[in-house]
A and B are shown apart, each in its own frame.
Chain A
């Protein structure tokens, strides 16, 4: 009987092709959206971790409280001992001190007078050969010209910024900023290279210097804004990060505003709500598509029932029970759902794979964005990609048929002879 039904199903394209296409397209979109969302979320969170706050961050309570208004006067003192303690207690985490600073870059002319000035967003990191920052900030890959700083007093500027200022490799520039205590600080640097991160917020006007130089320049001996920690697998794990923070903070209960405390990326980045939204977004997308598909397939089922009114009537008259007819409609729907979901999943995965490898360049969409995110968004295929569309596709087809098929029970057998005779 199943073979008989399958024959009818595939010979009658209006019965199989439209529901199959609806299911396959819906499933492919769910898989693609899920993978793309996962990739985009990864990109956003990874970029935020790399350039803003790490997976966990140790800073003074006052620095955390000040949020985006935090200045260097709230920096963490005794960074060497903080680093030593962190490396001892959390050896699997890569730790690195950083300081953010703002100021002006002053470019002199040949006479030593100001030729051009521009605001700069500075980032001081450990640029030693063994520093994890080289990998975290992808510095070598991001070099657009020159080399990484290897001598004291050397800096990197973002490539576009350097062009705008007319600064060439080896040229001297002066940083005009403020010390940790609020005094004016000026310090000369030499440009060793330019970088292009592919992140607009960083490429617009960034300066990267070794943290030791900045500690000197800004009068911050053994101090840094923050110490960032990166979890072992390079992916943010909220539970693990929360456990680390709880452990660290339990041995640092000091309420002093300059005492160190550890925050997870969830809180340090201000992206807590985003974490929750992204977590629910895939389920929401799947739900929306399932609902839409089910409605479409329900209607397709109703149209099909109208088209097959005579056929179903004959089957009932010949002696097939209403239950059996209903079950056969469900079996057909399951078969269509199974094939449609398989095709949809394969197509979705293929598209996701393309986006995972090639990506989508969104820089043109956000020329003035300050969000720290890669210009090229990529999808990421995960094990859940295999089922996130498949099961909903199967369920939508099944429920669509289950609802539309209920019409079978409304058929009055007493009217069959009249209906089939007309």
Chain B
């Protein structure tokens, strides 16, 4: 079965001969070269590779934060290269959650308010927001820290609030860019287990950009990028011991 974008229904993201180049001075840097991939609903996949391999660039395009130089990227049925900035923002607002390396919580708001923010953009009623935020904080085990400010939270707690913020609107897709880079092993483990649980319980697709072995152990699909090309794409059994 195909949807309007010509992509199978279970396919959340697909790229076809994706190229992204950047002009650096007089020379041209090729960040992605002929990347063709598909991600299906419910995947727990990671883009793995050293710095400069193109994983963040690919994540940016999948997240509609950037557009390809050539080739196509279809995200949730929308052709990224054809989206206006406003349409891209609307798609992110409704369907895509982001988790960043440095948490990026809004410092003057409580954990509850940080998680509530994406729902405000969607214009949900106060009662709907309260229900969803409470649920999200419970998913990440921080219902009792709802009133805490980011400065009162540990790194692990902050990242769990960021995860709650990413999933509170029940997006189809969550993109996580080096989510454990600022966390110790124990907190990384907790965070990843939280995301595995959300992936299992909510059916949310997670795509990571990482070179952290702790994250890689949890992936069910590992896509290795080298110099902007897909060097390896393997399904695997997660090793969470």
Contact = CB atoms under 8 A, between A and B. Distances in A.
A323 B86 contact: yes
B185 interface: no
B113 A317 contact: no
Given A4-B120, A7-B113, A417 B65 contact: yes
B65 A8 contact: no
Contacts of B101: 420-422
Interface in A368-421: 413-414, 416-418, 420-421
A260 interface: no
Interface stretch (A137-145, A187-195, A219-227, A307-315): A307-315
B63 interface: yes
Contacts of A273: none
B104 A8 contact: no
A315 B230 CA distance: 31
Interface in B108-157: 108-109, 113, 116-118, 120-121
Nearest to A414: B66
B102 A311 contact: no
Nearest to A321: B89
Interface in A197-237: none
Given A8-B106, A420-B100, A317 B120 contact: no
B121 A320 contact: yes
B97 to A, nearest CB: 8
A421 B182 CA distance: 10
A8 B109 contact: yes
Nearest to A311: B106
Contacts of A310: 102, 104
Contacts of A321: 85-86, 89-90
B60 interface: yes
A319 interface: yes
A420 B102 contact: yes
Contacts of B86: 321, 323
Nearest to A13: B108
Interface in A265-323: 310-311, 313-323
A318 to B, nearest CB: 5
A420 to B, nearest CB: 4
Contacts of B121: 1, 318-320, 324
Given A7-B109, A413-B66, A421-B101, A318 B60 contact: no
Interface residues of A, number: 28
B81 interface: no
A414 B93 contact: no
Nearest to A409: B85
B120 A318 contact: no
B11 interface: no
B91 to A, nearest CB: 7
Interface string A2-24: 00100110011000000000000
Contact of A319 (B59, B94, B177): B94
B195 to A, nearest CB: 17
A420 B108 contact: no
Nearest to B87: A321
B107 interface: yes
Interface in B2-35: none
A297 to B, nearest CB: 20
B98 interface: yes
B189 interface: no
B96 interface: yes
B56 interface: yes
A244 to B, nearest CB: 64
B40 interface: no
Interface string B45-87: 0000000000010011001011100000000000000000110
Given A414-B65, A421-B100, A421-B177, A319 B106 contact: no
Contacts of B90: 319, 321
Contacts of A418: 56
A317 B85 contact: no
Contact of A322 (B56, B85, B116, B120): B85
B212 interface: no
Contact of A1 (B88, B104, B120, B177): B120
A313 to B, nearest CB: 7
Contacts of A12: 107-108
Contacts of B120: 1, 4
A284 to B, nearest CB: 39
B96 A319 contact: yes
Contacts of B85: 321-322, 413
Contacts of A320: 89, 93, 121
A318 B118 contact: yes
A286 B85 CA distance: 40
B67 to A, nearest CB: 8
B104 A319 contact: no
A413 B121 CA distance: 18
A414 B117 CA distance: 22
A11 B113 CA distance: 13
B65 A318 contact: no
A4 B113 CA distance: 8
B93 A319 contact: yes
Contacts of B211: none
5 contacts: A11-B109, A314-B106, A322-B85, A417-B56, A421-B56
Interface of B: 56, 59-60, 63, 65-67, 85-86, 88-94, 96, 98, 100-102, 104, 106-109, 113, 116-118, 120-121, 165, 177-178, 181, 209
**The 5 residue pairs across chains A and B that have the minimum distance between CB atoms:** A319-B93, A414-B66, A319-B92, A421-B101, A11-B108
Interface of A: 1, 4, 7-8, 11-12, 310-311, 313-324, 413-414, 416-418, 420-422
Given A7-B113, A11-B108, 18 more contacts: A4-B113, A4-B120, A7-B108, A310-B102, A317-B100, A318-B93, A319-B90, A319-B96, A320-B89, A321-B86, A322-B89, A414-B65, A414-B66, A417-B60, A417-B209, A421-B100, A421-B177, A422-B102
